[in-house]
Structure 1
């Protein structure tokens, strides 16, 4: 039940951030901090999705590789969300909880983006790289 309330709160903040442009240099309330956290997460998620789409494009001739990438990404998202639920578990009842979840998700998303970018820089013939060197 608490987890569902957290998800509802995050959904509300997600909608609010697009409707309200918070000045993230001057956060005066927890609500402002939550909105800024949401904006940061959305930016990190967009960057991740851009890299992911580039990899999918490079795997256009490798349907099995695309399937493995999709499976890997779904597992990573489940891990990210579970890890952030664990990390922020002590704050579930507090107004800071949505922000802590977003900070965690943003950090893990940025790390995942960097991990995926490595696949875009593989040398030709690198048998340990699952992504072709060119499109």
Structure 2
């Protein structure tokens, strides 16, 4: 029963259209049922989201006056602490097993990063000159 809830939750997440990227979907399909391979797909997805985040960060810094950089860096440090603490419950082998480690954790982490990227992009749009 413990595995049913996380697995059904994961299937729900994977069914949402804007949640995963096409590369992740293709990678998971190719991995078949090999959990470590599926985990590698998730790690690659996290890397892609990190790259998008870094691009958004650099673009935002370029738009902001120098005086605002310190406050934004402080906010980003707080978010990094949140990111690092997020989704760790999926790594509990007793509760979530391999599904948590190889599918749920990377999916959750990629979502957290994507949300921050969207927030940075919204901030940039709000401060960009008209």
User: TM class by shorter-chain length?
Assistant: 0.5 to 0.7
Counterpart of 1:32 (choices 30, 37, 58) is 37
CA RMSD of aligned residues (A): 2.2
Which structure 1 residue ranges, 5 or more long, are not aligned? 1-21, 123-131
1:116 and 2:117 equivalent?
no
Superposed, 1:6-21 pairs within 5 Å as none
For residue 89 of structure 1, report the CA deviation from its aligned partner: 4.7
Match of 1:100 in 2: 104
- Contact 2:53 / 2:114 at 8 angstroms: preserved in 1? yes
Q: Which contiguous aligned blocks of 4+ residues in structure 1 show a shift greater than 4 angstroms?
A: none
* Separation (CA, whole Å) in 1 of partners of 2:109 and 2:74: 19
Q: Alpha-carbon deviations, 1:23-59, whole Å to 9, x = none?
A: 4431121111011001111111111110000111122
Q: Paired residues, what number?
A: 101
Which structure 2 residue ranges, 5 or more long, are not aligned? 1-25
Could you say which structure has the greater relative contact order, defined with CA pairs below 8 angstroms and 6 or more residues apart?
2
Match of 2:84 in 1: 81
* Separation (CA, whole Å) in 1 of partners of 2:91 and 2:42: 17
For residue 95 of structure 1, report the CA deviation from its aligned partner: 3.7
Q: Alpha-carbon deviations, 1:59-111, whole Å to 9, x = none?
A: 2x323x111111111111111221211x3153378444254322111001111
Structure 2-normalised TM-score? Answer: 0.66
More helix by share: 2
1:55 and 2:60 equivalent?
yes
